[in-house]
Structure 1
């Protein structure tokens, strides 16, 4: 049995006429009649009562028509879903994101536009730092992610540069001092103050770049405490434990008990990059990449 048998049968049953069915199908009448006869022979039963007045479904034929319609509807639905999956409009996308990159600007805008474009796609978003994301992509646990890239990517991964953030100074509001949040501040003037830092193990590439930039400035930061995430660092700043050098993306969600000040004498570009596995076969990922290229003016 082939699908055309069902299509021809349904057409004949709905028109109760081989002639009208053949006109609808653009197939000759003998060909339609032959297919109906072949179907009846294969099933071992009559689907139609034939008379000079035309065709009429038998009881078996009426039952078969209901099931045939359901089968064709299910096949049409399956084909529709498959086309949407192939177009990246249906499926699941597992993405990582450095937390502060998702608060303002490009990343949340891209998610919003993608949701409007492909509302049936499920995005599973995980907040992870850059090294954690790279490991997860290497293990196949993430399809892609937004990272800050300071080192060459592993061979299996490729990246799309998006934008650059910089660093700012986070100061506890409980510290004494006349700080104007509209004017940049010099890091050299705070070198004797305690600082909260990431441990090197959390992100060696960033840690080394930051310390190198401070050494070139002639500043040796006094580390009072370390914390493994920038959220934890800012919590300690708010508690008055120390100042911190943090991502300017935090300006999109400034902590209530910390001042975020631009720096006069220190700049450390933080390149935000979208990274994914080379040769990834997920059509949803391909559509998301196309949107990111459009958002950043990098269409191929």
Structure 2
């Protein structure tokens, strides 16, 4: 006989009640059917588990030993089922978040992480800063589940980009720069001879150059916005950066100025796989604004 969970449940029910009729009723079986299950179990084990008389049912020593193991097995099975169901609902698992340094300045990443940890405390979040140009490939390869980046950026067809925060670009200048003292917005054409420190995402710089009709002279591209502003503070050049930096980063010898003309949009967004199947990742995506 192939031992099944129903045999264990039947035995445990009888062992706990020491009454076949009552045990059968709780299991939704007839007493003869339950008796047959117990007898089949005893034959398979090659030992007597219960001593039956017309007036009583008692456990044998083998039955007492088997009861403890049967109860443990059933409890482990129920735990496994519960874990499987919770994992299928996104309540368990792991979500890997990749981000560029500037994503933390707006506070949206922190808010999403805090909200998800509260609603899904048993899901592990792994949060890693990554170079922006590596993130699309990491998403496609499954190394990262959701990436927080500066938009716009080119993404493969298998990925989707969603805007989370809308901002605009401004100019960061060394305090001693000739344009730093100007209170009026800085026209793009006045930057034609400037030396630029470029961040990872160059959309703002490219748009300023297009409006000013010049080819930007990039003298350094250190990567993160903090590194960019550090170089500006050292007088290496000027930079086109998201305006929200004015409220979160203060460095000596750095002056922020508005750019003339229509605002150049600077957006923070999330990039993720279009057809995500992992329940935990899908649960995280559902908590994002606009999901």
For residues 126-137 of structure 1, the aligned pairs below 5 Å read 126-137=128-139
Out of 119, 122, 144, the residue aligned to residue 121 of structure 2 is 119
Check whether the contact 1:103–1:252 (CA below 8 A) recurs between aligned residues: no
Return the alpha-carbon distance in structure 1 between the equivalents of residues 93 and 273 of structure 2.
18
Which string of whole-angstrom CA distances, capped at 9 and with x for unpartnered residues, describes residues 93-117 of structure 1? 1121122112334322111111111
Equivalent residue, structure 2, for 1:50: 52
Equivalent residue, structure 2, for 1:41: 43
SS of 2:37 mapped into structure 1: helix
Out of 69, 78, 81, the residue aligned to residue 76 of structure 1 is 78
Q: Quote the offset at 1:173 in angstroms.
A: 4.7
SS of 1:166 mapped into structure 2: strand
Pairing 1:277–2:276 present: no
Q: Which segment is superposed worse, 257-266 or 276-285?
A: 257-266
Decide whether aligned partners of structure 1 residues 230 and 59 sit closer, same or farther in structure 2, where only a CA change above 3 A counts. same
Decide whether aligned partners of structure 1 residues 114 and 43 sit closer, same or farther in structure 2, where only a CA change above 3 A counts. same
Equivalent residue, structure 2, for 1:169: 171
TM-score in terms of structure 2 length: 0.87
Check whether the contact 1:129–1:147 (CA below 8 A) recurs between aligned residues: no
Q: What number of residue pairs does the alignment pair up?
A: 287
Equivalent residue, structure 1, for 2:4: 2
Check whether the contact 1:8–1:21 (CA below 8 A) recurs between aligned residues: yes
Return the alpha-carbon distance in structure 2 between the equivalents of residues 187 and 197 of structure 1.
19
Q: Which runs of 5+ in 2 are unaligned?
A: none
Decide whether aligned partners of structure 1 residues 121 and 173 sit closer, same or farther in structure 2, where only a CA change above 3 A counts. farther
For residues 10-159 of structure 1, the aligned pairs below 5 Å read 10-159=12-161
Check whether the contact 1:163–1:271 (CA below 8 A) recurs between aligned residues: yes
Which string of whole-angstrom CA distances, capped at 9 and with x for unpartnered residues, describes residues 218-261 of structure 1? 46655443323322112212333333111234245213323444
Provide the alpha-carbon RMSD of the alignment.
Answer: 2.6
For residues 282-293 of structure 1, the aligned pairs below 5 Å read 282-292=278-288
Q: Which runs of 5+ in 1 are unaligned?
A: none
Decide whether aligned partners of structure 1 residues 252 and 61 sit closer, same or farther in structure 2, where only a CA change above 3 A counts. farther
Q: Which segment is superposed worse, 98-107 or 132-141?
A: 98-107
For residues 225-264 of structure 1, the aligned pairs below 5 Å read 225-251=220-246, 253-257=248-252, 258-264=254-260
SS of 1:92 mapped into structure 2: strand
Q: Which segment is superposed worse, 90-99 or 153-162?
A: 153-162
SS of 1:213 mapped into structure 2: helix
Q: Which segment is superposed worse, 189-198 or 110-119?
A: 189-198
TM-score in terms of structure 1 length: 0.84
